[in-house]
Amino acid sequence: MASDDAPSRKRGPRPLTPIEDLSPRRAKLEYSRLAEELAEYDRRYYQEDSPAVSDADYDALRQRYEALEKAFPELSSDVSLTKKVGSAPAEKFAKIKHVVPMLSLGNVFAEEEVHEFVARVRRFLGFSDEAPLFFTAEPKIDGLSCSLRYEKGALVYAATRGDGYEGEDITANIRTLEEIPQRLHGESWPDVLEARGEVYMRREDFFALNERQAAANKPLFANPRNSAAGSLRQLDPKVTASRPLRFFAYSWGEVSVMPSDTQYGMVQALASFGLPTNPLTKICVSAEEMLAHFRDIEARRATLGYDIDGVVYKVDDIGLQIRLGFVSRAPRWAVAHKFPAEQAKTIVRGIDINVGRTGALTPIARLEPVTVGGVVVSNATLHNEDEIARKDIRVGDTVVVQRAGDVIPQIVEVVLDKRPEGTKPYEFPHVCPACGSAAVREIDEKTGEADVVRRCTGSLVCPAQAIERLKHFASRNAMDIEGLGDKQIEAFFEEGLIRTASEIFTLAERNRASLTKLENREGYGETSVRNLFVAIDARRSVPINRFLFALGIRHVGETNAKRLARHFADFASLRDTAREAAPGSEARERIESIEGIGGVVAEALYDFFAEKHNEDEIEALLAHVTLEPMPQIESASPVAGKTVVFTGALERLTREEAKAQAERFGAKISGSVSKKTDLVVAGPGAGSKLAKAKELGVEVISEEEWFTRTNQ
């Protein structure tokens, strides 16, 4: 929208060009914009616990993004929220590595999306519409995910999900839950069983707990989910024991011998071992049956006594689950169908602008506080400049607010018949509120289209960006420095103690030489300062992928950081290649050939490492931080760490399935053959890639040999 356009409340979303009508150049432009927008939503949700977009809106963006990637595979960049899992475990608990990752689910909201999920599973497996395919449907419990490990029938430890790969040790607290057996029932259980499920609190127990909190002049919990999470993560197990927590088992991790070959059979087995399971789990044979069960559960939702926020559908056959595999954070064989959001009306008292670490200006509505779904909401995201204009949201308006997915506050619409007289359309600022620099929407010279985000141009002088970059660097999914949270970073920055990431690692030394010690400041003490320095020292050795993600390179989210770390032997190799990755160079081609890493990411890496001030800061960081290799997935596999290329027609697997399987074994997938390729899997009809492999002397095997090598 041009800056002189008058907002119109009848204006709808800007129409999207059909993907089949896009040129490669236009597709790359839109893909890059979507990647940036999704990355910002990712940061807000996972780093700040401040979601900025609804599940439904995000899902629409992600679907468009994935459709572009499918139509233009050369783009192949991956920075969306679908590639993340939870957050890193807190330092106050010991950590437990999950033998089998605890990954999360993708979400759908509309009935047609459930039909598409079923169709997508069939397409992936190569099943016809008539081929039998069974699913389970179960309530999605609104609680805290937990894994229970039993060895020879005895509970040995319990852990939270954490970041999906490493969780918090909550064994002592879990032992206080009466519903969880200390020893499995019967004798048919496997020697090793990791039972997974959800810790939750019934609504009546939640209300009783809040009554006790109020009587003791203690803070109230916002909802049963928060109270369950807070109760389970107490340092004192006696506090947990005093809270009425419950548990539903619905999945598993490591199992020495599987009691069943179906999802439903496994849940029944868990129940036979004495673990509580949800009685509303049902076998369905079609999307229509799944939706009928969804409607039935939704109708009974208020009478269940515990909070649920949707229904989870899973392919029942475990063999098919293994074939389907995962897309980064989420399984292809399961999806969560969320309930519609709850709504309420309130008044917009003001519109604030938040400046993110990339300079993006994000509008936030300040609302007259209103209760929505049992939670008091006082702020809501407005997404961006165009969204405000499209909905014509003005200060003073009465608006409908909903918590999408029962979590994220957003404004649905303006109640026009309650608009006060004299209100004016909101004028989005054209200067940065943090530093006064110009805030612009970049214009693509070839298309003439404006970027959806207005961005501060003062990246080197803007305190908002500097602070946000430091917050990102220290955040849980990046360097994970416990005790160096947002408030501490803001205070240290304002006082000049930490202005760059490298200064974090010199803070202790500078504090020893200072006349005004940290421990003498208000709010600090010897113990808290000592703990902070211990946490900083603990991060002087980190995996390459965490360090790479912490640098805040545009388009390099957690998943892309992992892909780059797996591909390059060490950080120096990645850095040298990125420095030389000018357009058209061999280094650029090498980066773009990495599966999931396309031209947008390659360009971002080249631009980042070409900046001298970035290089100077990296040198300063590497003087204090030692980089470790990233742990490989299934490192015992003979193909772990190898670069693999699939070419030709595969007969037992679809191409997508083959790539997913290889990644599960820790292999690095490439779209082209080079001197760096370790293995080419060639099916009938293999052409130029096979010829290139033979020319370079790269090992070539058949699809059957691939199965033999990976012991499938």
Residue 122 CB: number of other CB atoms within 10 A?
14
**Do residues 406 and 341 touch, judged by C-beta distance below 8 A?**
yes
Full DSSP string of 331-381 = ETTEEEEEPPPEEEEEEEEEEEEEE-TTSBEEEEEEEEEEEETTEEEEEEE
d(CA 139, CA 280): 7
| Relative orientation angle of helices 558-567 and 571-579, to the nearest 10 degrees | 100
d(CA 385, CA 295): 37
**Do residues 343 and 405 touch, judged by C-beta distance below 8 A?**
no
Instruction: Write the CA distances from 471 to 63, 303, 535, 592, integer angstroms.
Output: 30, 43, 15, 30
Beta bridge partners of 311: 139, 337
Quick one: which H or E segment has residue 699? Answer: strand 699-701
d(CA 241, CA 170): 12
Q: Report CA 587 to chain centroid distance, whole Å.
A: 30
d(CA 507, CA 85): 31
**Do residues 380 and 410 touch, judged by C-beta distance below 8 A?**
yes
Instruction: Write the CA distances from 206 to 177, 231, 238, 263, integer angstroms.
Output: 16, 11, 18, 31
Quick one: which H or E segment has residue 231? Answer: helix 224-232
Scanning the structure block, which residue is given the tokens 């992600």?
62
Instruction: Write the CA distances from 44 to 209, 439, 572, integer angstroms.
Output: 31, 20, 30
**Do residues 81 and 45 touch, judged by C-beta distance below 8 A?**
yes
> Which long-range contacts link 558-561 to residues 24+ away (Cβ below 8 Å)?
558/83, 558/84, 558/477, 559/78, 559/79, 559/83, 559/84, 559/328, 559/329, 559/596, 560/77, 560/78, 560/79, 560/596, 560/597, 560/601
> Which long-range contacts link 426-432 to residues 24+ away (Cβ below 8 Å)?
426/7, 426/351, 426/388, 426/393, 426/394, 426/395, 428/361, 428/363, 428/385, 428/388, 428/454, 429/353, 429/361, 430/3, 430/454, 432/355, 432/359, 432/361, 432/456, 432/457, 432/458, 432/462, 432/464
Active site residue 152: no
Q: What angle do CA 148, 152, 157 make, to 5 degrees?
A: 30
At residue 161, the 3 state secondary structure works out as coil
Q: What is the 3-state secondary structure (H, E, C) of 84-95?
A: CCCCCCCCCCCE
Radius of gyration of the chain (CA): 26
d(CA 347, CA 415): 10
Amino acid at site 512: R
Q: Which residue in the list 84, 140, 338, 391 is annotated as catalytic?
A: 140
**Do residues 415 and 400 touch, judged by C-beta distance below 8 A?**
yes
Structure tokens at 667: 């292999």
Beta bridge partners of 354: 362
What's 11's DSSP letter? -
d(CA 366, CA 380): 7
Beta bridge partners of 95: 168
- Cite the active site residues: 140
